[in-house]
Structure 1
Amino acid sequence: MKKTIKNLALVAIVAFTSFAYANNDIEKKEVKVEASKVVWKGYKVTGSHEGTVDLKSGYLSFDGETLVGGEFVIDMTTIGSTDLSGEYKGKLDGHLKSDDFFGVEKHPTSKLVFTKVKASGKNAYDVTADLTIKGKTNKVEFQISIYGNKATASLKVDRSKYDVRYGSTSFFDDLKDKAIYDEFDLVTDLEF
């Protein structure tokens, strides 16, 4: 009986030690926020607008050469349009920062946390992540491609899930040509 207990204890110690060392291979690679870019594009019945928003911080996690995770903080106070200039740009940028849209005074950051990463091809991964905007968290799915020290991803975000209501037919009737579609695109070019 004592021999069995000693053997079980030895197996447990070896398993625990192996597990502890296996997790040490994960490397977090910090994203160079100044060299990275996040572009948004929103659509309305009468056209579209696009612009940028800056990353505050972020990293991708790798097990060897394989992507296994990531986390990003977006600085919502930097959201702005790039397709307008002058007075119109100022109005749209101010409106995007207001409570009608992203309420950046109360919610200065948004966050994206990878929860599942699965290889889908050479240098390509299917990602499931939690996206938090205006204090509300929802699951998003997208693909990311890794090439050397660069990554690109594109995802669609349904703003109605984050209480971004302005001009949304999910919340208001009879908007006609003033309607703004709920889904907007985020396209990222990352360097790490």
Structure 2
Amino acid sequence: MSISYSAKTLTPVEALKVIENGAKILDPITPEAYDCYHIKDALNACVYEVAFLQKVPELIPDKTVPIVIYANSATSHESLVAAQKLELLGYSKVFVVEGGIDALVEAGCMREGSADALNERLEYTSGSYSARVDNAFIGWTGRNANGKHYGTVSLKEGFMQIDGENIHGSFTVDMNDITDLDLPDASYAQILVAHLRSDDFFSVQSFPEATFTIHNAKRSPAATASSVNHILHGTLSLCGISKTLNIPATFVQSSANTLIIEAHFDFDRTHWGVAYGSAHFFRFLGMHVVFDPVSIEVRFELNAAL
């Protein structure tokens, strides 16, 4: 799927001539990226920020001055978005450079800084990582024909070992710490939680922990920092049953020593022997039907061992 824009474009050679005739140059990327790498004399206003609409008129008050905008790469869209915003502000001579900053440099514009410092956080520092239990989030949602219930469960411990593309690890959940968040009446919430802990569902007394063991993590060929960029191939051990489970996840290394993992997925509880309310096993359930898929949302922060 492509995104359509109506910005006026210039070839790098055409853009260079416009610049030589007095046009302003605008770099619409983040200040951090601008500090690493930009065209000489370019002004910076980050198009990702709401303040962009106030900052550009401060930098370029004359709306009749030609403005040449470049993107950080030939495939990035920030220059196109910036051009549309400037036209809505009333700027009458807004142009986008085809090919982005590298094309402008090849045409003869002087570059300041180096792109080597830029990183989309897709290269992960090898080593041992431990999950922060205090800020981990694991949310669950169960549904039936009348609606849904949702709540949380706590991470007990977690670790990950990264050696280049070789990734494995393990995360253990405390099943005794199931909570419900949707029922306003605390007594009803307690009844639901007791139901979930009972042998009808997760048999928590017999199986107080659930563990997902990662055997390997395959990176998506089209991985980006905002996409589902890995598939975690592993084994979920729940209610005394261990079965293979593949989880789509987003990895982002937010700093040299911190890795963020976020995932949203469904699994079929009946594959782990949780059969209560499943029409796959029982007939004439009436109001007691409970849908087989359970939705899980997780966010973990893992810190590298120093």
TM tier, shorter chain?
0.7 to 0.9
Q: Whose strand proportion is higher, 1 or 2?
A: 1
Q: Which of 65, 74, 79 does residue 173 from structure 2 map onto?
A: 74
- Report if aligned partners of 1:153, 1:187 keep a CA contact under 8 Å in 2: yes
User: Who is 2:218 aligned against?
Assistant: 118
- Report if aligned partners of 1:51, 1:83 keep a CA contact under 8 Å in 2: yes
- Report if aligned partners of 2:166, 2:216 keep a CA contact under 8 Å in 1: no
How many residue pairs are counted as aligned between the two chains? 167
Higher relative contact order (CA 8 A, sep 6+): 1
User: Who is 1:170 aligned against?
Assistant: 280
Q: TM-score, normalised by structure 2?
A: 0.52
SS of the residue 1:78 aligns to:
strand
Deviation, 1:176, is 3.1
After TM superposition, what 4+ stretches of structure 1 lie above 4 angstroms from structure 2?
A: none
User: Who is 2:182 aligned against?
Assistant: 83
Q: TM-score, normalised by structure 1?
A: 0.82
RMSD over aligned CA atoms reads: 1.6
Deviation, 1:26, is 5.2
Percent identity between the aligned chains? 28
Amino acid aligned to 2:177: T
User: Who is 2:246 aligned against?
Assistant: 141
In the TM superposition, what are the counterparts of 1:37-48 in structure 2 within 5 Å?
37-48=137-148
C-alpha offsets along residues 1-42 of structure 1, whole Å, 9 cap, x if unaligned?
A: xxxxxxxxxxxxxxxxxxxxxxxx952200001111000001
Deviation, 1:127, is 1.4
Gaps in structure 2 of 5+ consecutive residues = 1-124
* Mapped partners of 1:128, 1:185: distance in 2: 18
* Mapped partners of 2:296, 2:128: distance in 1: 23
SS of the residue 2:196 aligns to:
helix
- Report if aligned partners of 2:235, 2:242 keep a CA contact under 8 Å in 1: yes
Q: 40-49 or 55-64, which moves further after superposition?
A: 55-64
Gaps in structure 1 of 5+ consecutive residues = 1-24
